[in-house]
Amino acid sequence: MNKPLSRTPVALALIAALTFTASSVLQAETAPAATTAPATTTAVTPAPAATPEAAPTKDAESPIAVERGTAVQNQAAMDALTAIQKASEAVGKKDIKAAQTALTEADTHLKAIKDSLPTAKIKKTLDAAKANPNTADWTSIYQELDKITVFLPTQTAKNATDGSKPADASAKPAAPSAESIDAALVALQYTEIDLPVATTIKAVEKAQAALHKENLDAAGKDLKAAENSVVVLQSLVEEPLYQAHFSLWQALANLKNGTVSDAKRYLDDAIGFLEKAASATDKASKEAADKLLTEGKDLKAAIEKVASNTASATEQDTASLSSKLEHFGLRTEAWSERAINYAYTKSSEAINGGDALKHDLIEARFHLSNAAIDLTMAQDAATTKTDMEQAKASLGKALQQTDDLWVDNSYKKQVTDLQTTLDSLLQDPGKTNAAQLHTLGQTLQSVILSL
């Protein structure tokens, strides 16, 4: 867990994944966006976006790509990793001042990464709007949410605030309730990266507090936890399910923009990553790929049909395909997070020992994610209830684990409270909304990454 982290191509790929620029989430480029081939396979140069047999719906449109940020921003993430290692070395030498200096540097770089995530700008805007809701520019806020939705589905956030939008589009919208704003902020968590980064920051801050008290043993433990989180982030972009998820959102963005051939290209990439996951040695990735591949190939056939005959494709056809692709992307995201959580569990065994507790919590988190998806996308009340019951059962198993696995009793209390809330929702599941499920899932994910 404490081996040096070299500046490898994989690490540089991590930096690219972390440094989405919030100020311009979606950017039209003059050439097709570069795609990432599945690791350990031969990269295939994608066909030009516009071909006779697969012309984009909007010939004038370029494929949508995500701006990756400047070289300075990219370097910030690598510098954060280096600073954490310097702090560990200084603690080993009992040099408190040097460790504090290194941790201050690490904290600065990590927070810069957090601020560069796609949802960072709109979250700051919503935080400010919450303080003064009646004077906030809600028209601009809704427009910003619309922009992000094209790349990162934020329908829960939009649903939470849309109730205040007037029927007349030209009229000034009223401020949503504080509860609605809170629900929107929760929904905008970029879970696969946002929470691991936040966990690393928390570990760094705990190490800083321990150093202030000259408690080197505690600081050393917190720094190991920080390094452990960095390892998770480093391995994240190697995870084919994450790469598939990322490619699916790119496909969705292009499909909604009308560039069908580019959407097909990104969907092809996603299927390639799922096929790689199907041959993975770890059980979580293989299980996910086995569940997802058939659906992905069905979507590929559907999008190929539209791409080969755009003239006869209706808006309804495209809208239906977009909905199916978004549903598939959300399911892939849930499976991706599950696999990454299991990878995190394996990498943390050397620090905390034991993993039975985390396995139960990971499964509960997965079922909560599925419940939110089934409620919002499939609108299947019966399946949503089953998902919630499965989540409750997994939480119950977790609470039966021995106290020594919990590390801190505050985490056990959080999970107990989650189970109580979930039990209350199950008393009348018809009144459950996606924001409630999302909040439960985010809280549980934070516990998983903190243990």
Question: Domain holding 398: CATH number?
Answer: 1.20.120
Question: Would you state the pLDDT for residue 38?
Answer: 34
Cα–Cα dist 136/421, whole Å: 32
Task: Give the tens place of pLDDT for each residue, 203-213.
Answer: 899 999 999 99
Is residue 224 situated within a structural domain? no
Pair (336, 421) in one structural domain: no
Question: Would you state the pLDDT for residue 438?
Answer: 82
pLDDT(76) > 90: no
Question: Would you state the pLDDT for residue 26?
Answer: 26
Is residue 386 situated within a structural domain? yes
Pair (341, 362) in one structural domain: no
Across the range 258-264, mean pLDDT stands at: 87
Pair (243, 289) in one structural domain: yes
Q: Is 294 left (phi over 0), alpha (psi -120 to 50) or beta?
A: alpha
Residue 316, φ and ψ in degrees, nearest 5 = -65, -40
Out of 58-67, 132-141, 263-272, 400-409, pick the least confident: 58-67
Task: With beta carbons less than 8 A apart as the criterion, state whether 367 and 388 touch.
Answer: yes
Residue that is last in its domain, among 346, 376, 404: 346
Is residue 197 situated within a structural domain? no
> How many other C-beta atoms can be found within 10 angstroms of the C-beta atom of residue 9?
8
Q: Would you give the DSSP letter of residue 65?
A: E
Task: Give the tens place of pLDDT for each residue, 4-25.
Answer: 333 332 222 222 322 222 222 2
Pair (338, 360) in one structural domain: no
Pair (342, 359) in one structural domain: no
Task: Give the tens place of pLDDT for each residue, 20-69.
Answer: 222 222 222 222 333 333 333 322 223 333 333 333 333 334 444 443 33
Pair (293, 338) in one structural domain: yes
- Confidence band of 214 (pLDDT split at 50, 70, 90): very high
Better-predicted residue by pLDDT, 162 or 185: 185
Is residue 142 situated within a structural domain? yes
Out of 124-128, 146-150, 160-164, 314-318, pick the least confident: 160-164
Is residue 287 situated within a structural domain? yes
- DSSP for 425-447? HHHSGGG--HHHHHHHHHHHHHH
Out of 245-254, 307-316, 344-353, 379-388, pick the least confident: 344-353
* Cα three-residue angle 238-277-20, rounded to 5 degrees: 35
Cα–Cα dist 427/410, whole Å: 26
Is residue 371 situated within a structural domain? yes
Question: Would you state the pLDDT for residue 61?
Answer: 44
Question: Would you state the pLDDT for residue 270?
Answer: 93
Task: Give the tens place of pLDDT for each residue, 323-351.
Answer: 899 899 989 989 988 888 887 676 555 44
Across the range 280-299, mean pLDDT stands at: 90
Better-predicted residue by pLDDT, 408 or 431: 431
Smallest Cα–Cα separation from 270: which of 32, 14, 46?
A: 46
Across the range 405-431, mean pLDDT stands at: 89
Cα–Cα dist 229/223, whole Å: 10
Pair (243, 342) in one structural domain: yes
Task: With beta carbons less than 8 A apart as the criterion, state whether 204 and 106 touch.
Answer: yes
Residue that is last in its domain, among 346, 366, 401: 346
Share of the chain above pLDDT 90, in %: 28
Across the range 184-190, mean pLDDT stands at: 65
Pair (338, 385) in one structural domain: no
Is residue 203 situated within a structural domain? no
Residue that is last in its domain, among 346, 373, 390: 346
Better-predicted residue by pLDDT, 167 or 368: 368
Pair (265, 358) in one structural domain: no
Is residue 337 situated within a structural domain? yes
Pair (254, 341) in one structural domain: yes
- Confidence band of 127 (pLDDT split at 50, 70, 90): confident
Pair (165, 247) in one structural domain: no
When the pLDDT of each residue in the chain is averaged and rounded to a whole number, the result is 74
pLDDT(353) > 50: no
Cα–Cα dist 98/106, whole Å: 12
Number of structural domains, the chain? 3
pTM, two decimal places = 0.66
Residue with tokens 């510098």: 79
Q: Residue 166: which domain range?
A: 120-187
Cα–Cα dist 327/346, whole Å: 29
* Nearest-10 Cα torsion for 372, 373, 378, 384: -40
Pair (333, 287) in one structural domain: yes
